[in-house]
Amino acid sequence: MTSLQSIKQRFGIIGRSEALDRALDTAVRVANTDLSVLITGESGVGKEAFSKVIHALSNRKHNNFIAVNCGAIPEGTINSELFGHEKGSFTGAATERKGYFETVNGGTIFLDEVGEMPLDTQAFLLRILESGEFIRVGASKTLTTDVRVVAATNVDLMERVKKGKFREDLYYRLNTVPIEVPSLRNRREDIYLLFRKFAIDFAEKYRTTPVQLDDKAKAALEHYSFPGNVRELRNIAEQISVLSENKLIGLEDLLTYIPNALKRNLPMIPEHDGKEGATMNEREILYKLLFDMKGDLNDLKNLVFELIRRNNLSVPDIRSMQQLQPSTLASNMPVPVQSQVFSNMPTKPNHEEATSSSDIEEETYYNSDSDGKPILIEHNTELYNDNLEDSLSLTDNEKNLIRKALRKYNGRRKDAADELGISERTLYRKIKEYDL
């Protein structure tokens, strides 16, 4: 098999990226067959060059090759262009005309932007791919042709299939062998090589010295996103070759031709207008934050009671402490905790008065109720660990919040939805989802 390097030289393909080599290798392997090929890739990546490689390396190389841009032909005339028409078949049809599939019999036809082909034309194309048969516009006689079809598209054909704009059976018939041509931003190691090739070509064309880039300009060029891919890079090289007075291009000079060269397309959080669904992710993040705060509060409570236990301190009012919210607790507990939290708490006799270690383990603390009567409070820390095993699942907690809101408003969904801060339709969906 011919080496990829010799094929690149023969067809003027510049690049050394792995993705490019993989696409070219697939084209070489399938060239000597009659299988249909679907070439995918963004606009400007050079899909037509791959179709020419396939034809030139096939058994049809001595027959005709034609490239047809399906998106550039009006819908009313595309059937006539592809399949021909009879005299008088429509207004303006003064003579009969052969279509591309008839004139390229035995050769290869490249259908670019095949996703823009009308649905009725897709049906005619499918028949040619299946049986080689077609009918001219306005005729009743069936003709046959032997044409290899190579198609290309810069859109997602499966998405068009889902939208009913492209036939599913035609998609699978065209996509016998898929070839994906990488975009220029996915083969950055090839950008400067291509620029140098274009610069040399334009220097020969305009009889000037080839332009070059300094290190900063080269780095900026290689990190530019190139939405127009190779076509855009070629146009930029031609502009610089013709318009620039300097032959060594710096970063400032490059920015006059590519103003966005230093911009980076980083992901951003999309703005929303308060519509349903726009805040669902934010709500989940808020739930997670609240659960983390709850866990921190439980840890702080356990720390407080452990310090009380170890330092033989009595608690003035345990019930009020258990009802403190995180914000209140934080505002009433300045740092450092050890030096100030217990400064005003009455102390118990220290452990020197205990007769044994067992007495210490079984000791209890006393608090007072509103009437001054003593209340027995065991120092067992399990009393304060009741919330540590709560589920941290977002789904479980969301379900519990919805259940509590419905219970609070006796099943009135509108009031419950207002309490939860969601729309009534979202609440109804959640009720069905959680089977509440």
Helix, strand, coil percentages in the chain from 3-state DSSP, rounded to 5: 50, 10, 40
In this structure, the answer to whether residues 336 and 208 fall within a common structural domain is no
Each residue's pLDDT tens digit, 346-394: 444 444 444 444 443 444 444 444 455 444 444 444 444 444 455 666 7
Each residue's pLDDT tens digit, 358-370: 443 444 444 444 4
DSSP per-residue codes, 351-374: GGG-SSHHHHHT-EEEEE-TTS-E
Q: Which secondary-structure segment (H or E) carries 310?
A: helix 280-310
Give the pair of three-digit tokens for residue 272.
């929303």
In this structure, the answer to whether residues 337 and 212 fall within a common structural domain is no
**pTM for this predicted structure:** 0.60
Q: What percent of the chain has pLDDT over 70?
A: 75
Average pLDDT over residues 197-223: 94
Domain assignment of residue 177, given as a range: 4-182
* Helix residue ranges per DSSP H, 39-176: 47-56, 78-83, 100-103, 119-131, 157-162, 168-174
In this structure, the answer to whether residues 174 and 196 fall within a common structural domain is no
Distance separating alpha carbons of residues 432 and 436, to the nearest angstrom: 7
Across-strand partners of 144?
A: 133
Among residues 142, 163, 182, which one ends one of the domains? 182
Each residue's pLDDT tens digit, 63-90: 999 999 999 999 889 999 999 999 888 8
Across-strand partners of 69?
A: 112
In this structure, the answer to whether residues 299 and 366 fall within a common structural domain is yes
In this structure, the answer to whether residues 53 and 146 fall within a common structural domain is yes
In this structure, the answer to whether residues 34 and 175 fall within a common structural domain is yes
Residue 231 lies in a domain: yes
Residue 267 lies in a domain: no
Query: Would you place residue 230 in the very low, low, confident or very high pLDDT band (cuts 50, 70, 90)?
Result: very high
- Buried b or exposed e, range 115-134, using 16+ CB within 10 angstroms: bbbbeebbebbbebbeeeeb
Q: What total number of domains does the chain contain?
A: 4
Residue 271 lies in a domain: no
**Neighbouring C-alpha atoms within 13 Å toward the C-beta of 331:** 5
Residue 408, domain CATH = 1.10.10
Q: Does residue 273 register a pLDDT over 50?
A: no
User: Which has the higher per-residue pLDDT, 295 or 139?
Assistant: 139
Residue 331 lies in a domain: yes
In this structure, the answer to whether residues 58 and 194 fall within a common structural domain is no
In this structure, the answer to whether residues 230 and 288 fall within a common structural domain is no
